[in-house]
Structure 1
């Protein structure tokens, strides 16, 4: 069964009773509860909830007697023999979800030309190999993980607890050395050893040849983890290292390592998602469209805009003096005059006005205007995906010099192949960058960019 994200409600008339029973066990359930109960359900990002807009719903989908309603999540999910694939609403057809594949390729820096969501072709575990570099980089941005580790020594520099039993075995007759143990803060620990074992596993995988050599930054990070773990690395101790990492890491600073640890364990334990082999098992791979859209926009705007990160605190700003109330606009221009913007994975060209107390108005307009005031900016913008042609609509904030722009980036719909799709997207992205940097004020509802079927040389 297939549908799209934010489908507004799809009739369930064609579903049989078995489908309905399986889907009902997933529908209307809190996503975090589902993940905790079903370890083979993967949702990216792991901090799901930060990026929700428009439909602030913690469910994968809702189901009533007539309709199945989806939200921002894309990918696939199943239970027993029932599987539901959720394509992006910009998919050309059910077999060519170019938009989802393109964003994944940009965000994770991988080649997804042959990625397919169908169960007979998709291998989620091979796909996790390609996600590993992304999460390794995210974790390394906080430094190499350090943890206390018990070390055993036998020398003259005693600085810990004397190990009497080991001392008698090794130092009788007495030679001047003392056997002792100490607890040290070390880069060579259970978690870094897990990462090292994962690196070595990927190196031997049939499809892993280019995974760890994608760019110089990744190669440098891999070499650092190899260096700090070389002292005690042993390929035969893999199961021991896996067992030592079954308890999730909860360090208050190294928060990015939690997701990396989970992916490493899944890769090394060779656990398979089996389609319908285990009764009542919920499995799947899902991406939050709002998160993916924001991260994708960062890949094309990062040269000119700062992208604050709520989860890591990178580029944190404050609303008030004395560092009160931290804020994280999606994008802040690096140059003056300042522009601040927000990524929205919703059809803003269809939105008009909301009631005075509407939460939608608060999340869509008011937050960005507050950021404009905070950064003394007259230029605010909201970027959203739009079918076929790009779109502009400019709002002048009453009795001020400030303007808030809605910018719709054209998402091609009729390209014949993925290669042409990429070419068209690159053209539209460049026009978006040029517009943001020149701060033009187009007429209210100006369209630009290439149509999905136009040829881009």
Structure 2
């Protein structure tokens, strides 16, 4: 396939085996090179691809993932990125041996106008579904589709801008006070004494100084400009689910298109959500679609950890059926020799009467064959740590892991794992251990029903515990 299509569409998250470039690319087009009127086109195109991946690799090595990874979709304090994982691993140096390996990081990389996307392995439509479920403000059927002309990072930034704008707008359109001076029939505010003295005779009107609400402020002007820019670009379809907001901002008329630029921060706590909308609007206006990198430089990128989004999504799905304890409840700490580390299981199910279930959510592949089959070693030890600590305070009656899988893989995977196993913690505790799979459908019309079905597993478990 063509290099431009491959780098945009075919690289998926969590590909630890890697994809060998030579097996996937046909050298049919120029990519990061210009072979016009030059001989040896295939070799020049190979060199262009090699240079592109080498520059991506070199620039990534200088990135601090803790600062670069965006938490755009998750605003609560329950989630944090895994800063130990690699953003993307590019192995090899020539066209013949170059391969790309990926982890939980999803996003876009740009070099000299060429783009490399790490896409959701379940399809970017499922990524849209999770974001819609997380935000609660975006209607999925009018979501604003992701097409080949829009980078994944650009699309995510505009989606996030929309989410924040909708949240801010739910409190009303931001307004400020402006000072007005006017000759009026009734007294309003304070009288302008100097103007009053300067009058030669009283004409029935008094010059007053007063304050009045106004929507003509720099925050609203900046948002209006961002909406206008998106509306005139290839992203215009992404405004379809906020036409009422667009018409409201379009209706604000600014004299000479200018405002007082010194008022760039919202001080009123009721409207404080507009501060982030303003910052994001500035980035859109200035074409700063990227989470790091100077927009004038050759390299830039926008990335985020999709495993955090999946974990948040799973928690919301389960919460629709049964009560969960807060993840960030500070109950236990583990010493590390210098300080202590807090421990937070991903899912703590409250079965009542001090009975709980503990599950860890993994966005990884669940392997049923080979050396890596079953739950990975470090993940098992992590769960055992949770169980040991929480058993000292609660009666832990259920535990395990939650993995995503495609709809067509579900039955093979469930048949491959043992129905129930047990983890022995201490002298007496035999805690049931389960592997649960969350089905992902290519047809999102089925996904809502899959979510209900998944959440009901835990409700059934709760009902059986209550009977016992």
Identify the residue that residue 16 of structure 2 maps to in structure 1: 8
Per the alignment, in what secondary structure is the counterpart of residue 140 of structure 2? coil
Say whether the 8 Å CA contact 2:219–2:278 is kept in structure 1: yes
The alignment status of 1:411 with 2:440, answered yes or no, reads yes
CA distance in 1, matches of 2:356, 2:423: 17
Q: TM-score, normalised by structure 1?
A: 0.60
Q: CA deviation at 1:400?
A: 1.6
Aligned residue for 2:179?
A: 152
Partner of 1:115: 145
Q: CA deviation at 1:30?
A: 2.4
Shift, 1:12, TM fit: 6.4
Q: 2:56 is matched with which residue?
A: 23
1:135 aligns with 2:153: no
Rg bigger for which structure?
2
In the alignment, structure 1 residue 428 sits paired with structure 2 residue 450: yes
Using the TM superposition, give the Cα deviation of residue 151 of structure 1 relative to its aligned residue in structure 2, in angstroms. 5.3
> Where in structure 2 are the equivalents of 1:355-366 lying within 5 Å?
360-361=379-380, 363-366=382-385
CA positional deviation for 1:345: 1.6
Once the 2 structures are TM-superposed, how far is the Cα of residue 79 of structure 1 from its aligned partner? 1.2
User: In 2 relative to 1, CA 3–197 (structure 1 residues): closer, same or farther, beyond 3 Å?
Assistant: closer
**Post-superposition offset of 1:211:** 1.3
Residue 167 and residue 25 in structure 1: after superposition, are their counterparts in 2 closer, same or farther (change >3 A)? farther
Q: 209, 212, 215: which is aligned to 2:242?
A: 212
Give the deviation of 1:72 after TM superposition.
1.0
What is the CA deviation profile of residues 215-241 of structure 1, one whole-angstrom value per residue up to 9, with x for unaligned ones?
xxxx8xx69x97xx99x9544576647
The correspondence of residues 47-446 of structure 1 with structure 2, limited to 5 A, is 51=79, 56-57=83-84, 59-65=86-92, 68-91=100-123, 97-107=124-134, 108-111=138-141, 115-116=145-146, 118=148, 120=149, 129-136=158-165, 152=179, 168=194, 172=198, 191=219, 207=237, 210-212=240-242, 234-236=253-255, 240=259, 244-245=263-264, 259-267=276-284, 269=285, 271=287, 280-305=297-322, 317-319=329-331, 330-333=346-349, 336=352, 338-347=356-365, 350-352=373-375, 354=377, 360-361=379-380, 363-367=382-386, 370=389, 376-387=395-406, 388-389=409-410, 391=414, 394-398=421-425, 399-400=428-429, 402-412=431-441, 418=442, 421-439=443-461
**Contact 1:80 1:279 (8 Å CA) reproduced:** no
Give secondary structure in 2 for the equivalent of 1:345. Answer: coil
CA contact (8 A) 1:304 1:334 kept: no
Contact 1:319–1:374 (Cα < 8 Å) also in 2: no
Give yes or no for contact 2:324–2:349 (8 Å, CA) kept in 1: no
2:363 counterpart SS class: coil
The CA deviation at 1:319 is 1.7
CA contact (8 A) 1:72 1:289 kept: yes
Counterparts in 2 of 1:425 and 1:146: CA distance versus 1, 3 Å? closer
Q: Matches of 1:385 and 1:243 in 2, distance apart?
A: 49
Structure 2 segments unaligned to the other structure (5+ residues): 1-6, 23-45, 94-98, 182-186, 333-340, 368-372
8 A Cα contact 1:372 1:378, kept in partner: no
The runs of 5 or more residues in structure 1 that have no matched partner are 36-40, 92-96, 214-218, 311-315, 413-417, 443-457
* Partners of 2:70 and 2:255 in 1: CA distance: 29
RMSD: 5.4
Could you report, residue by residue, the CA deviation over 1:277-334 in whole angstroms, capped at 9, with x for unpaired residues?
x874334444421122123324433323457788xxxxx63427xxxx9986544546
Cα pair distance change 1:430/1:48, threshold 3 Å: closer
- 1:437 CA drift (Å): 0.7
Structure 2 distance, partners of 1:52, 1:19, is: 31
CA, structure 1 residues 59+178, in 2 after alignment: closer, same or farther (shift >3 Å)? farther
For 2:33, the equivalent position in structure 1 comes to: none
Aligned residue pairs: how many?
A: 383
Separation in 1, partners of 2:222, 2:253: 11
Q: Indicate the SS of the match to 1:115.
A: coil
- Partners of 1:309 and 1:282 in 2: CA distance: 40
Partners of 1:289 and 1:432 lie apart in 2 by 20
- State the shift of 1:73 in Å: 1.5
Cα deviation code 1:397-418 (max 9, x no counterpart): 4322543433121335xxxxx5
2:255 and 2:238 mapped to 1: Cα distance?
20
Post-superposition shift, 1:385? 0.9
